[in-house]
Chain A
Amino acid sequence: MNMFRRLKVTMGAALAVGLASTLAVHADEQFFPLQSYRVGPYAAGGTGFFGGFIDYLNLINIRDGGVNGVKVTWDEGETQYEVERGVEVYERLKSRPGTAAWNPLSVGIAYAMIDRITKDRVPLITINHGRTDSTDGRVFPYVFPLLLNPYSETSGMVNYLASREGGRDKLKGKKIVVLYHGSPYGKETIPIYKLLADKYGFSLEQIEVPHPGNEQQSQWLSIRRAKPDYVVLRGWGVMNPVALKTAQKVGFPADHIIGNVWSNSEEDVIPAGDAAKGYIAITTQASGAEYPVLQQVIKAVYGANKGNLDDKKRIGSVYHNLGIVNGILNVEAIRTAQAKFGKRTLTGDEVRWGFEHLQLDPARVEALGAKGLFHSINVTWDNHEGDGRVTFQQWDGSKWKVVSDWIAPDWAFLRPIIEKSSTAYAKEHGIKIRASGEDPVSQ
């Protein structure tokens, strides 16, 4: 073989290898763009949630070599929970190949993305929060408020208070104050509390705490004047410990304060110290690291020094576990879609199909090593929430203790309210309402 031919062969081989590897990179990766926030007033939530999400994605890559061999990848952009930065990160990362889904964990950013992701045909996941009427998949084909939308959460909390009082009829004449965060997230439940107050006959007062909520003296003084039976804390970030401490100052008992799903973490109660003892909060996912999936994360991910949390004590905390559950739901949606479309990089539309068929019964949840961590989910093409169950936990001064069964919100009561709102949205925006899951998604 002369020099020239040898060169030619080598170059050909190199080209072939190079081509194969580029193809391989594009053929078996699924990308998660992360609009995380590790700085600013809500960093505790951001680091815990995105830490858990990344830890689970790492587990899938390390333990299973990806989802059926398709590696999951991700990239982070810092948003500080600000809408403009969230939009900037969206525009920056949206053209990456193989984008699976967006998980912003911010109602404000999610609102700004609804039009954009619908146009770009990629799912938007708002686990445990988001725009309530996006539960209606007929109108919002790409938006998924998984496990718990704000209305279900409200209904679950009122059901819990009813059970504590000894029945729904006992709520009559009771007084409930809702202390909410002055943001789109905080205000989302104002109308549903009013409806439930009318339905069950309790009297209601809703008081706003301006963002970020580190000054609540006047709000708690009006609570003291109102003498309510319960205070519902619909807080976020620094607002929560400040609320608990101020409640102690004005002498309101902690065990009559019920926190919502964004007021339920260790980061909310530990800074409040003594004042948080006895405080009760709703959750969709229990805390603790005893679940098999958490044990695997500790062994495979943190063992390999690839864990995302700086402070290992936060493994198994509420936000970290929510991130893990979010990881499970995203990965299982991809797996579901792969069963139909093939074990390859999926398009955003195919992943949407996966989310619309994301059905994990308690047996499957157990197989995933998450029994007790969360209950189950049953997403369909028109119900994008998936009937998540809730439970209640009480802070004993050092850890959360579950104090109720898995409670179901009043879905039958909520659905017509949601549909009314979503059809109004469809009309306003000229969206064609889908008649079945196989319907082509209109733009």
Chain B
Amino acid sequence: MAHLARTKTGRPTAETLWIGIGIVVAYGVVPFAGSDYLLDAVLTPFLVLALAAVGLNVLTGYAGQVSLGSAAFLAVGAYAAYNLHLRVPGLPLLLDLVLAGGIAAAIGIVFGLPSLRLRGFYLAVSTLAAQFFVQWALTKFGWFSNDNPSGVIDAPVLRIGSVSFTTAAERYVFSLTIVVVLTLLTLLLLRSQSGRNFIAVRDHEIAAKVVGVPLLRTKLLAFGMSSFLIGVAGVLWAFAYLRTVEPAGFNLDRSFQILFIIIIGGLASLRGSFIGAAFIVVFPLLLSRIGAALLGRVFDSGVLEMSQHIVIGALIIVFLIAEPRGLIALWDRAWSAVRPARRPTIPT
């Protein structure tokens, strides 16, 4: 929730204090105190999926355009960065990252065009086209994976200038920085006129058109921005987290996973993207560790895995019945119960 640090102007509140502490912990304590497991297998995928969820939230939560193609844009980002790195010698990593995001954005805009005619479920189905087309193209044309017979790419070492990020802690800090910076930029965008246009289009498209919101530009900006963020998340997924990628890793399940993150975390809430990602990434691991520790001697790992699915599914239903606006609404309610005098602010 680091992005909030600079959003509340004026006098410092308890919240900004907590956010300050959060940043100090995320940068100053976690990389030194966290084990490789925590950094590499829990926090890095959490950060990457949170960024992807921020991206989808811009499109679905704020601009109201449903998309089932998130995994495709992750894949575009990952493969674009890989190919740029491979084919343009000496390309700096950060530029590579931005260009890969740009390519994902361009493809996102192309697949966003049907949104001018389609809405709701129909748009969701048309974004499926992106999902299937990208996966097909990456599998079909060996060029994308440098003709590796298995279609798997090996990610290069992360290096900015002479600094290379090779340990788990370094990769975590790299991902954290990218995610924090991009989340802040997203926040700025959402607070600008464009962000208000997104919400206008979401809440009432015809009314928005009547008051002069440019629909075409707004929708395509939402698709472009969203795909850019998801594309960069894809680069982090491939380069900082897995360090190897195959097209099948970006299948429809991954798209659903990101959609569930924003639904469970809370639509139109950046903090919700992070809480949702934490729930989807960290909670199953926690449950599996607890399950294995308590019942590992009694049941085999298959039975435990199955029961985990049941527990998580049940919890999702319970949460959404208790609060359809997602975990972030639960969080805010709990927070305002503690501090009843707090002024209402625009949810972010």
Taking Cβ atoms with an 8 Å cutoff, the residues of A that contact B are 36, 38-39, 43, 47, 76-78, 80, 83-84, 87-88, 90-92, 94-95, 107-108, 111-112, 115, 131-132, 182-185, 187-191, 208, 211, 308, 428-429
Name 7 interchain pairs, CB-CB below 8 A, sorted by A: A83-B244, A91-B40, A111-B246, A112-B242, A115-B244, A184-B150, A190-B149
* Contact across chains for A36 and B244 when beta carbons are under 8 A apart: no
Q: Is the CB of A183 within 8 A of B300?
A: no
A429 to B244, alpha carbons, bound, how many Å?
Answer: 14
Q: With both chains docked as a complex, state the minimum distance between the C-beta of B260 and any C-beta of chain A, in angstroms.
A: 16
Chain B residues within 8 Å of A183, by CB: 246, 248
B154 surroundings in chain A (CB, below 8 A)? 111, 115, 428-429
Given contacts A91-B36, A188-B150, A190-B149, contact A84 B304 (CB under 8 A): no
A92 and B41 contacting across the interface, CB-CB below 8 Å: yes
Is B13 on the interface with A (CB-CB < 8 A)?
no
- Is residue B288 within 8 Å, beta carbon to beta carbon, of the partner chain? yes
Does B301 lie within 8 Å of A78, measured CB to CB?
Answer: yes
A288–B304 CA distance with the chains assembled, in angstroms: 30
The answer, yes or no, to whether B151 is at the interface (CB within 8 Å) is: yes
**How far apart sit A80 and B249, CA to CA, in the bound complex (Å)?**
13
Residues of A within 8 A of B32 (CB): none
In the bound complex, residues from chain B placing their C-beta under 8 Å from that of A188 are 149-150
B251: which A residues are within 8 A, CB to CB? 211
**Residues of the A chain whose Cβ atoms lie less than 8 Å from the Cβ of B35:** 95
Q: Measured between C-beta atoms, what is the minimum distance from A52 to chain B in Å?
A: 14
Could you tell me if A47 and B302 are in contact, using CB atoms closer than 8 angstroms? yes
Asked whether, in the complex, the Cβ of B304 is within 8 Å of the Cβ of A78, the reply is yes
Are the C-beta atoms of B249 and A84 separated by less than 8 Å?
yes
User: Within residues 242 to 273 of chain B, which ones have a CB less than 8 A from any CB in chain A?
Assistant: 242-244, 246, 248-249, 251
Bound CA–CA A101/B246 (angstroms): 24
If over half of B's interface residues share one DSSP class (helix, strand or loop), that class is named, otherwise mixed; here it is: helix
Query: Are the CB atoms of A95 and B149 closer together than 8 Å?
Result: no
Tell me the bound Cα distance from A373 to B246 in angstroms: 35
Docked complex: B29-47 residues within 8 A CB-CB of A: 35-37, 40-41, 45
User: Within 8 Å CB of A429, what residues of B?
Assistant: 154
Q: Look across to chain B and name the residue whose beta carbon is closest to the beta carbon of A108.
A: B246
List of B residues within 8 angstroms of A182 by Cβ:
139, 248
Given contacts A78-B302, A78-B304, A208-B139, contact A184 B246 (CB under 8 A): yes
Query: In the complex the two chains form, is A39's CB within 8 Å of B40's CB?
Result: no
Tell me the bound Cα distance from A132 to B152 in angstroms: 13
Q: Is the CB of B244 within 8 A of A111?
A: yes
Instruction: Summarize A's interface: helix, strand, loop or mixed.
Output: helix
Q: Is B285 in contact with A88, judged by CB distance below 8 angstroms?
A: yes
Q: Which residues of B contact A (CB under 8 A)?
A: 35-37, 40-41, 45, 139, 149-152, 154, 241-244, 246, 248-249, 251, 285, 288, 300-306
Known: A38-B301, A92-B41. A83 touches B139 (CB 8 A): no
- B302 adjacent to A107 (CB under 8 Å): no
Q: Which residue of B lies closest to A425 (CB)?
A: B154
Q: Report how far A115 CA is from B167 CA in the complex, Å.
A: 12
A107 to B246, CA, bound (A): 11
User: Which residue of the partner chain A has the closest CB to B36?
Assistant: A91
User: Are B149 and A83 within 8 A (Cβ)?
Assistant: no
> A78 vs B242: C-alpha distance in the bound complex, in angstroms?
17
Which residues of B have CB within 8 Å of A185?
150
Q: How far is the CA of A90 from the CA of B243 in the complex (A)?
A: 14
B150 touches A43 (CB 8 A): no
Residues of A within 8 A of B303 (CB): 38
Minimum CB distance partner of A182 in chain B: B139
Are A111 and B152 touching (Cβ within 8 A)? yes
In the complex, the answer to whether B305 meets A88 with C-beta atoms within 8 Å is: no
Residue of B nearest to A37 (CB): B302
Which of the residues A39, A107, A428 comes within 8 Å of B306, measured between beta carbons?
Answer: A39
Q: Are B246 and A92 in contact (CB under 8 A)?
A: no
Select which of A80, A88, A191, A308 is within 8 A of B149 by beta carbon.
Answer: A191
Kindly list chain A residues whose C-beta atoms are within 8 Å of the C-beta of B304: 78
How many angstroms between the C-alpha atoms of A91 and B42 in the bound complex? 10
Closest beta carbon of chain A to B303's beta carbon, Å: 8
Residue of A nearest to B39 (CB): A91
Most buried by B among A90, A107, A187, A189: A187
C-alpha gap A43/B241 in the complex (Å)? 26
CA distance A43 to B306 in the complex (A): 12
Whether A95 contacts B302 in the complex (CB less than 8 A), given A84-B249, A112-B243, A112-B244, comes out as: no
By the criterion CB–CB under 8 Å, are B139 and A78 in contact? Answer: no
Contacts of A88 in B (CB 8 A): 41, 285
The 8 closest A-B pairs by CB, nearest first: A38-B302, A184-B150, A91-B41, A88-B41, A78-B305, A78-B301, A76-B301, A112-B244
The smallest beta-carbon distance between B19 and chain A, in angstroms, is 29
- Given A107-B150, A188-B150, A208-B139, verify A83-B302 contact (CB < 8 Å): no
| Residues of chain B within 8 A of A91, CB atoms compared | 36-37, 40-41
Report the separation of the CA atoms of residues A108 and B303 in the bound assembly, to the nearest whole angstrom.
24
Q: Which residue of A lies closest to B147 (CB)?
A: A191
User: Bound state CA distance, A375 and B35, in angstroms?
Assistant: 44
Residues on A with beta carbons closer than 8 Å to the beta carbon of B248: 108, 182-184, 211
Question: Does B242 lie within 8 Å of A83, measured CB to CB?
Answer: yes
A416 smallest CB distance to B (angstroms): 16
Q: Which residues of A contact B139 (CB under 8 A)?
A: 182, 208
CB closest residue in chain B, given A82 = B249
Among residues of B, the one whose C-beta sits closest to the C-beta of A132 is: B149
CB distance from A401 to the nearest CB of B (A): 31
Given contacts A39-B305, A111-B244, A208-B139, is CB(A184)–CB(B41) below 8 Å?
Answer: no
Q: Establish whether residues A184 and B151, one from each chain, have CB atoms under 8 Å apart when the complex forms.
A: yes
Q: How far is the CA of A190 from the CA of B306 in the complex (A)?
A: 36
Closest to A308 in B: B300
> In the bound complex, do residue A77 and residue B45 qualify as a contact, i.e. CB atoms below 8 Å apart?
no
Pick from A78, A87, A108: contact of B152, CB under 8 Å: A108
B242 engages A92 (CB within 8 Å): no
Q: Given A36-B301, A38-B301, A47-B302, 8 more contacts at CB 8 Å?
A: A78-B301, A78-B302, A83-B249, A84-B45, A95-B36, A108-B249, A131-B150, A208-B139
Closest chain B residue to A310 by CB distance? B300
B305 touches A38 (CB 8 A): yes
Contact B301 A95 (CB under 8 A): no
Question: In whole angstroms, how far apart are the Cα atoms of A7 and B304 in the complex?
Answer: 45
Chain A residues near B306: list those with CB within 8 A: 39
User: Min CB distance, B222 to chain A, in Å?
Assistant: 28
Taking a contact as CB atoms under 8 Å apart, the answer to whether A92 and B301 are in contact is: no
* Chain A residues in 8 Å Cβ range of B149: 132, 187-191
A115-B243 contact given A83-B249, A184-B152, CB 8 Å threshold? yes
> Nearest CB to that of B132 among chain A residues?
A210
Tell me, in angstroms, the Cα distance from A94 to B38 when the chains sit together: 13
Cβ contacts under 8 Å, B305 to chain A: 38-39, 78, 80
From residue A113, how far is it (CB to closest CB) to chain B in Å? 9
How distant is the Cα of A95 from the Cα of B168 in the complex, in angstroms? Answer: 14
B136 to chain A, nearest CB (A): 9
Q: In the assembled complex, which residues on chain B have CB atoms less than 8 Å from the CB atom of A80?
A: 305
Q: Which residue of A lies closest to B253 (CB)?
A: A82
Cα(A38)–Cα(B305), bound, Å: 9
**Which residues of chain B have C-beta atoms less than 8 A from A190's C-beta?**
149
B251 to chain A: closest residue by CB: A211
